[in-house]
Structure formats: structure tokens, C-alpha cells
Amino acid sequence: MAERLSVYGIYSWKTLEELVLNIDDVSEHLVNIVSELAAVRGGDIPGQVDGGMLQVYLWGDNGTREIFHSIDDVNHWLNKRLQLINKEIDLRLYPLVLCHLDLCRRNIKLMEDNSICLLDWGHAGFFPRFFEAAAVSSINDNAAYGNSLHKAIIKEAKLTERGGGKNVLSCS
């Protein structure tokens, strides 16, 4: 186990890739972290925390190639692509919340005290909450891990967002 520098000092840790853990237990713990992140609301401008063009799994191999200044810009970008399958989406209904968007196993460290540390915040930003589930489903990682985490995020999001009469995963 290699020693690595963290914000709090030097710890020995392993990634989830290196550990043999109950995947459903890990997913439940991570979904609690995702819920905590979703409590952090953004303003009216969607996108990565550091701004700029979006370069994450959800935006394709070349990213967006444009900077979004409003949720309408994101709607336009997505709907242009959804036209190919005769679908559209309107994201104006959803609050922008903090999402990590890169919850692959190599970015999740188990600390010595059994707490979980999320690494690589380069794709993090303010998006509709269900983007976290969409990002997990597009990560090229262990299938059992990805499926378990995806299901846990969807289950938790429906439970907390349904009260507002919204179905977080619907597209018209």
C-alpha cells in the first residue's frame, strides 16, 4: 500500500478497485455522499465549477465545444442531439445541485478510519441531480459496481424528489 498525500496529511489508502467489498454496501454509502452534495445548490449557470467547456462522460468524446451561460443553452445543446431519436428534454424544471460526475472506483478512496474520500473533482459542477446517475451509467468501470450505484442513486433521488411532484428521470 503506497503512501499518498491528502489534504489532511499522509495516509495509506486503497481505491475501491483494489479492495474486495460488498458492492451494495459501498453504493449505499456513496449514495449518502451524493445526497449531501445535492444539498449544495448552484445558481442559474450550469456547468463545471471551474467554468469552461464541459469535458465529462455525458458530453461525448469532444466535450461540448461551447460554454453554457444558462440552462437554456444546455437544453438547446441536448435537444439538438436528442432530435435524432425524436426526444427532447427541458431542464428548467430542475434545480442545479453539486454533482461529482466521476464516481468511478479509482476516484473513491477508503481511508484508514473507513471513511470514503472522493478524488478527482475535475468534472464536478452544478447540474440537475439526475446527471449523477447518468454519469455513473456511462462510466467504463466494473459493471456490478456501476449498476449497483446507478440503482441506488435512482432509488434515493426518486424518494427525495418525488415529494415535489417531479420525476427526476423523465424526458418528454
Domain boundaries, the chain: 22-162
Give the global pTM.
0.77
CA-closest candidate to residue 160, choices 124, 136, 132? 132
Rounded to 5 degrees, what are φ and ψ at 57? -45, -40
Q: What is the pLDDT of residues 41-90, one digit of tens each?
A: 988 999 988 888 888 778 888 888 889 999 999 999 999 999 999 999 99
Which CATH code fits 22-162?
A: 3.90.1200
What are 50's three cell numbers? 471551474
Rounded to 5 degrees, what are φ and ψ at 11? -130, 155
Q: What is the pLDDT of residues 135-152, one digit of tens each?
A: 988 887 778 888 888 888
